[in-house]
Structure 1
């Protein structure tokens, strides 16, 4: 059955049972998205799936619903396992399973790094229906947690498979594949079909149905994309100019390094903007704290590395700014996919300095279009130069100081800044300096 997303009007017509249809409506899902409309009927027919869909397309629902439908018919513990490249995405997938399965009593366990293994072992001992995790930590539990195995597993999902393999999880995934039954259903979801994903597909799927709910590398039509060529020495000025012009907006600013997230967040706070950094160097609780503060609207600017470009469902991001142009042009697709989700409009602006032109040209080649330039007058932007230079000087001093304190205390890299943004310790220090 090759369902066309335009023809399918309801979840009922896909073959989903009434309890799950009601759960969808409770989450505000009135009609299936294109990937859901095309994937769910094949999944209910018992087929393995390869789903290629751009970020924000509803693909989590495309694998969650068929698994819950099958679980209802034959309930058992350790029924399905979902692998994700990041902790935040794993937590989010688990929340979606629990929200959709709340009326049927679905139990989930999340096993990710950065969290106490003993707590996770206790959750696994309760024999949940669904295990969601990052590959490395799941392998740790398979090796070390007494009584835990996935020998009765019925479903395996690899979400963001291209990212899973790019992050060198290959060895851990091979160990997991050796620890689970060959007789199972496997769903592989990816935004892009890389050579590694193709190799993985051959290794662990049987006669899969391939569903492409988007052109190979595309951005949604509701996304307005622009670029601006800027001298490297004025990039901070342009960033602050854009954020000030769009002061009421919710924005995500992408940088290349964890260090840059912290410095930029400090500069913006010194200039009175509500920014918070998030990166892979933060402890799990700090990452979630920062994310929740952003979701709740207490901070409207999230400064992040590519750890936040995948799978984080932050519903109302108005603007994405590429402060650093990604070296891998596919990462651009994932970054700008944080805005203009589920039919909403959004804006993406890339600040391109003289050293990044080649990377930017690769992005235009990948998406198959020339982007318009962001309109601004350099004289107007450079009116900010003195204030921005001073804010940067203060921020660099603060980072140097906190770096010395961290070395003495052995504190996690980056945590001290986030403590401050989360309202702990010397949160008032920003307000003193104008």
Structure 2
């Protein structure tokens, strides 16, 4: 999109929030107070730094990766190392602990997977490496990456997450996999309850998305896990931001680490991402959304909402109007969540309507557009949402739908980005042409949502799907269940 014309701007609109929005936004408490305290630098004297200007891209072989793994990279179309891979892999191959800081979509998984697999080739043994991830979907994705990279070396990998039966997982652990990818809560369950399972021989520990692991209160589980694994190990900690919590974690678990960073800013987005906003009346949000979805028909779209209720309602609204949409949120079963992701990845559904369960870590290669129907409450989440598109050097577009009640939040996001975004050009007459069809679809969606809430009320989850709530809901967190 080149040179969009300037419209009435969010910067000129009144900044006052209305109290009636308070309940809707309560499902995600704002983290701005604590993110302001985050430091983009590490003031630890013993920590080496590897943040110098990036060199010319190298091949994986030039980084020191062995031929069999280079072949695996080639088969996966990994043509050249990304910036974080080029910096982290040589340090990891030297046997150093690593703190990797990079924005989402930068290729962090291969940056830690390749050195671990190479070490495994040199000294094969079961229960060799453990990767901790904050969400079930991310854990599954990391497991797939390890299996793909290790396909030529007969790698055994087990993914251990909540929401699934523990017995098949215990059987998988009993077969002594080389690599375990797990969410912390479920791994602690197995360490405490699964007979014969031990990590005393572990050689490598990875904490991926470390900042989110700690934001989601996995700290106590991680502390327990550290007691179950040997001190003599290599540890890799990867994170998009370096908060005071992450600093404390690295002090507790890493030895003389080298920090590698490809982020120059705490709130950085990639240069290939085009970001815009549309200032709309709150009562016309649905109409503008349908207009935008129609504008980008045929492209792969993620629509972010704030609550489970809105995610369900918007998915129904879109389907009623003939769009291939599927919801993804924390109140779906694990099989439904993976099914939704696979349908979206496979292209059988072009639109994924999601809470922030999908905001971070998931590698969906072909997302063309991100639409923020509801703005996130903190700037860090915004960065991760829009990071679902424009990945691995591709271009992408993110559009924020801003109502009169969202201006204050939007201005905080712009301040964090350090720039003002351009308005996305629209013609009111073209937008309003969708109004009558949207109103009819809204009526049908209300009927379906009533049935959805009644069905929820029959189980123990009665009331959970109501918009907002007085505390952080699990649609925005992915804590483990037994």
Q: TM-score range by the shorter chain?
A: over 0.9
Deviation at 1:411? 8.8
Deviation at 1:404? 2.0
* Aligned 8 A contact 2:157 2:178 in 1: yes
Q: Map 1:116-131 to 2 at 5 A.
A: 116-131=165-180
Counterpart of 1:422 in structure 2 is: none
Q: Distance in 2 between matches of 1:392 and 1:147?
A: 55
SS in 2 for 1:339: coil
Post-superposition Cα deviations, 1:356-397, rounded to whole Å, max 9, x if no partner, equal 111111111111111000111223212222221221121111
Counterpart of 1:241 in structure 2 is: 291
Deviation at 1:81? 0.4
Q: Map 1:415-430 to 2 at 5 A.
A: none
Counterpart of 1:378 in structure 2 is: 428
Q: Map 1:361-400 to 2 at 5 A.
A: 361-400=411-450
Q: Distance in 2 between matches of 1:363 and 1:13?
A: 40
Q: What is the aligned counterpart of 2:222 among 165, 169, 173?
A: 173
Counterpart of 2:193 in structure 1 is: 144
Q: Are 2:343 and 1:293 aligned?
A: yes
Task: Please give the TM-score of this superposition, normalised by the length of structure 2.
Answer: 0.84
Return closer, same or farther for 1:342/1:284 CA change in 2, 3 Å cut-off.
Answer: same
Deviation at 1:402? 3.0
SS in 2 for 1:302: strand
Counterpart of 1:251 in structure 2 is: 301
Counterpart of 2:107 in structure 1 is: 58
Counterpart of 2:358 in structure 1 is: 308
Q: Distance in 2 between matches of 1:198 and 1:355?
A: 36
Counterpart of 1:427 in structure 2 is: none
Deviation at 1:248? 1.3
* Aligned 8 A contact 2:457 2:463 in 1: no
Root-mean-square deviation (CA), in Å? 1.7
Return closer, same or farther for 1:91/1:414 CA change in 2, 3 Å cut-off.
Answer: farther
Q: Are 2:44 and 1:44 aligned?
A: no
SS in 1 for 2:190: helix
Q: Map 1:5-16 to 2 at 5 A.
A: 5-16=54-65
Counterpart of 2:234 in structure 1 is: 185
Q: Are 2:396 and 1:346 aligned?
A: yes
Q: Distance in 2 between matches of 1:302 and 1:318?
A: 12
Counterpart of 1:421 in structure 2 is: none
Return closer, same or farther for 1:291/1:388 CA change in 2, 3 Å cut-off.
Answer: same
Counterpart of 2:272 in structure 1 is: 222
- More off after superposition, 360-369 vs 379-388: 379-388
Q: What is the aligned counterpart of 1:209 among 258, 261, 268?
A: 258
Give the total of aligned pairs: 415
Q: Which runs of 5+ in 2 are unaligned?
A: 1-48, 466-482
SS in 1 for 2:72: helix
Looking at both structures, which has the greater relative contact order when contacts are Cα pairs under 8 Å and sequence separation is at least 6? Answer: 2
Q: Distance in 2 between matches of 1:265 and 1:97?
A: 33
Q: Which runs of 5+ in 1 are unaligned?
A: 416-434
Q: Distance in 2 between matches of 1:211 and 1:145?
A: 37
- More off after superposition, 406-415 vs 144-153: 406-415
Deviation at 1:25? 0.6
Return closer, same or farther for 1:357/1:159 CA change in 2, 3 Å cut-off.
Answer: same
Task: Please give the TM-score of this superposition, normalised by the length of structure 1.
Answer: 0.93
Q: Distance in 1 between matches of 2:364 and 2:271?
A: 19
Deviation at 1:180? 0.8
* Aligned 8 A contact 1:282 1:414 in 2: no
Q: What is the aligned counterpart of 1:273 among 323, 345, 360?
A: 323
* Aligned 8 A contact 1:5 1:33 in 2: no
